[in-house]
Amino acid sequence: MNKIKAIIVDDMPLAIASLQADIEDLDMNIEIVGTAGGVMEAAKLIKTAHPDLLFLDVHMEDGDGFDLLEIIDQQAVIFTTASKDFAIKAFQFSAIDYLLKPIDPALLKAAIKKYETAKQESLEVINKGGSLALNTQEEIRLVSIENIIRLEAMGNYTTFYIQGQDKILVTKTMKDFVSVLPDFFLRVHQSHLVNKNFIKSYVKTEGGYLLLKNEMIVPVSVRKKPFVIEAISKK
């Protein structure tokens, strides 16, 4: 089994060392491929190391963990922080878990298992003919992942826009799908996930937005712009 590549982001070297030791003690097939002490350092590291999982502190000298999530492409994230105040916001950013320092090894192990489960579900979805089961209030509908144009978060619900079909309102949050959908889906905004195969262009005017092939317009957050442009360029 391939090791899970992980990065630790924390502005306290002792916290990094402690968390790395805890992870190694758990012996859970995780390889720490790098560490960073700030937002910009972490963004550069993620771009080169391509981690599977991110252990992320909230407060850093040049910003916070949410600033980092705004400027990078979607990542599987476990928050590790001394602050109790940002758990709700963390889960709005599709965090796998929110662990308080000092980290309880049992809770750390459970969080990593959550990631492994989500990853396995993702593989199973792709292996089942590339279909995704969408649970609405009326039915469970199977849709082809390749035909999903975009997702839009609406509180505790998610709207799916499907090629050639009516939109589907699902009784789950968007974070439930971030780790399941393949990497050609781009998190371009806190509330928007887009299949890059349906992107027609990035329009620079009016603050910047995506124009999709069906003429839909999707906003792009300011900090996501460089990564969205880079992702489109690699199509």
Report pLDDT for 71.
Answer: 85
Same domain, 20 and 99: yes
pTM: 0.66
Residue 134: φ, ψ to 5°: -105, 120
Same domain, 85 and 145: no
Same domain, 32 and 100: yes
Same domain, 74 and 185: no
List the domain range (segments joined by +) for residue 208. Answer: 131-233
**Of the candidates 125, 148, 176, which is a domain's last residue?**
125
Residue showing tokens 């990094």: 16
Q: Tokens for 216, please give them.
A: 């839909």
Report pLDDT for 126.
Answer: 53
Q: Which residues contact 20 (CB under 8 A, 6 or more apart)?
A: 8, 32, 35
- Rounded Cα gap, residues 40 and 67, in angstroms: 9
**Of the candidates 80, 99, 125, which is a domain's last residue?**
125
Same domain, 38 and 150: no
- Name residue 135's amino acid: N
- Rounded Cα gap, residues 93 and 175, in angstroms: 7
Report pLDDT for 2.
Answer: 75
Same domain, 32 and 64: yes
Same domain, 121 and 159: no
Per-10-residue mean pLDDT, the chain, length 235: 89 96 94 96 91 94 92 85 93 90 96 86 59 82 92 90 93 78 88 94 90 95 87 76
Report pLDDT for 173.
Answer: 81
Number of other CB atoms surrounding residue 95 within 10 Å? 24
What are residue 189's DSSP bridge partners?
192
**Torsion sign across C-alpha atoms 71, 72, 76, 78:** negative
Report pLDDT for 131.
Answer: 83
Same domain, 169 and 204: yes
Total structural domains within the chain: 2
Dihedral (Cα; 113, 136, 160, 234), 10-degree rounding: 30
Secondary structure (DSSP) of 109-175: HHHHHHHHHHHHHHHHHHHTTTEEEEE-SS-EEEEEGGGEEEEEEETTEEEEEETTS--EEESS-TH
CATH number, domain with residue 202: 2.40.50.1020
Q: Are 7 and 32 in contact (CB under 8 A)?
A: yes
Same domain, 104 and 145: no
**Of the candidates 125, 151, 176, which is a domain's last residue?**
125
Report pLDDT for 123.
Answer: 59
CATH number, domain with residue 108: 3.40.50.2300
